[in-house]
Chain A
């Protein structure tokens, strides 16, 4: 069956070179394996969406099917029973602030670590790499004390400040800068540009894909974070969407359609981003081992 794939065949000419196409290729039998796989992986997400527009009675059907009608009121009910708009706004503020912080601070640090010879650079970089390996659960208790001493307990600041710069971001940026040809910046320096000017006008235009990768990963990480908001935030007004959703689940476990509507709402921004920026996700996960 897998004999039909191109790997076993001798290298083919690209379509442009083959001239007139001989015949339409038959659909590969691999679809017979790929479709069930897709269904299994997507099924929980599909059911989440289907349940969110079902009536409560329909959640007990088997086999599950399309709901009798689209019951958007589940979304309205969820929205009215809890401050979802507020939580989505909080998550957006925190995520965007962390993305901006990481872009600025990690670019600056990564550039200096890759390109500026300064005393202690090696030692500092090793220290940054070391923290990359420390699991969050180990440092969360002292971090909570630090946040309290900075008078940020139960504020959005508690969620933003510790995540403004990450060792992973510094590492990713340094890796990028080491791949840029040195000649590019030397020309700028001869023309009299300082380090910051060189970074802004020579490097930034080249950094698009790397900045996108860092943005997407930081956003995903902060948006989906649960444990840190759980211990850092108490008042409902300062909760992020994940924390709010968890509290909502505790209070509304019986009404599944409304709970699923709430869950869908918590995932929409991330799923949209995933569809738009899929290649950045895949590339950066493949190269960094990050989830």
Chain B
């Protein structure tokens, strides 16, 4: 809007009116020519499939042949499907564990990485390295760490005289084990967000606090921590949205087992579409997931407005 009006103001002038109109018509063509490759691709692979997903969710289809309309049958099936509800509960449990643990660990680490110390670039890179490690590689590494027979963690517990754990192979521990693995993978992300928020805290504020006699610890709780509120509300929502989409790590390590103990919504969606060939039902699960994510996003906007008065200038 502002861009368009500003450009029009620039283009308007007493001289060469005819030529100006030509330029504007040229802009119409240039604008569409410039955006169309990207817009066509994004429409075909992003926008149209959203609507298509809704249509698939009211069909019976194996995705390879034409489907038949089935009304709300997939949604009725979902409501009465105990495994779906188990997957939904486990997805919720995963979010409730993963998101707060990641955020609580990230704050002190970000504060630590915000200090001026020799070799800080190296320390930061070490904390960020898991972030670029692929989910498949992460899964392989943790499959060994958690391995009940030869894994490092059980070997350590054994040396300490503590009982051995089943981790991915135990129904009670598989989901918490996935949480441990993904916290390692995502911690660097949360640290980056907090670190950039800390670096935006005006120096004068901290200096003023120091002059007023606040110690470093007190200054942190009274000055820096409140200023981290926008970063926290962003992370809360962003980590939740990504936690709702958990798939790779589960596929690579537990395959949703044992006995569905680590089956989360996207894994169940995948299973329905590509193991049971029930594409319509998978699409319905996707729509349900989309609705949840949409709600989380709306809450983000609401939270963002509520906390925006903390934003440092």
Contacts and interface: CB of A to CB of B under 8 A. Distances in A.
B234 interface: yes
Contacts of A11: 203, 207
Contact of A124 (B27, B39, B53): B39
A265 to B, nearest CB: 10
A117 B117 contact: no
Contact of B42 (A64, A170, A231, A245): A170
Contacts of A131: 42, 46-47, 50
Given A34-B112, A226-B248, A267-B137, A105 B53 contact: no
Given A112-B34, A259-B140, A275 B125 contact: yes
Interface in A134-161: 134-146, 161
A13 interface: no
A116 interface: yes
Interface string A236-254: 0000001001100100010
A285 B192 contact: yes
Nearest to B196: A286
A227 B31 contact: no
A286 B140 contact: no
A230 B45 contact: no
Contact of B156 (A62, A224, A286): A62
Interface in A61-97: 62-64
Contacts of B230: none
B128 A186 contact: no
A256 B286 CA distance: 36
Nearest to B4: A117
A291 B190 CA distance: 10
Contacts of B133: 45, 267, 270-271
Nearest to B224: A7
Contact of A246 (B28, B128, B252): B252
Contacts of A55: none
Contacts of A144: 63
B158 interface: yes
A281 to B, nearest CB: 7
A145 to B, nearest CB: 7
A6 B116 contact: yes
Contacts of B293: 135
A120 B4 CA distance: 11
B132 A117 contact: no
A109 B39 contact: yes
Interface string B129-141: 1111111111111
A201 interface: no
B241 to A, nearest CB: 7
A267 B134 contact: yes
B203 A266 contact: no
Binding site secondary structure of chain B: helix
B234 A289 contact: yes
Given A282-B128, A285-B192, A44 B145 contact: yes
Interface in A259-288: 259-260, 263, 266-267, 270-271, 274-275, 278, 281-282, 285-287
A41 B192 contact: no
A141 B63 contact: yes
A99 interface: no
Contacts of B46: 131, 134, 139, 167
A3 B289 contact: no
Contacts of A37: 109, 112, 123, 126-127
B30 A112 contact: yes
A174 to B, nearest CB: 9
Contacts of B124: 282
A156 B205 CA distance: 54
A263 B279 CA distance: 33
A34 B27 CA distance: 55
Nearest to A35: B123
Contacts of A230: 251
A64 B154 CA distance: 12
B289 A135 contact: yes
B274 to A, nearest CB: 6
B115 to A, nearest CB: 5
A138 B290 contact: yes
Interface string A102-143: 001110110111111111111010011011011111111111
A249 B130 contact: no
A64 B150 CA distance: 11
30 contacts: A2-B216, A2-B217, A6-B116, A9-B210, A38-B126, A45-B130, A45-B141, A104-B37, A105-B38, A108-B37, A109-B39, A115-B3, A121-B35, A131-B46, A141-B63, A143-B49, A144-B63, A145-B52, A178-B3, A195-B27, A224-B135, A226-B251, A245-B136, A246-B252, A249-B139, A256-B150, A267-B137, A271-B132, A274-B132, A282-B128
Interface of A: 2-3, 5-11, 27-28, 30-31, 33-34, 37-38, 41-42, 44-45, 47-48, 51, 59-60, 62-64, 104-106, 108-109, 111-122, 124, 127-128, 130-131, 133-146, 161-162, 164-167, 169-170, 178, 182, 186, 194-196, 220, 223-224, 226-227, 230-231, 242, 245-246, 249, 253, 256, 259-260, 263, 266-267, 270-271, 274-275, 278, 281-282, 285-287, 289, 291
Given A37-B112, A122-B1, A141-B283, 9 more contacts: A37-B109, A41-B127, A44-B145, A121-B4, A127-B42, A134-B290, A137-B286, A139-B53, A286-B195
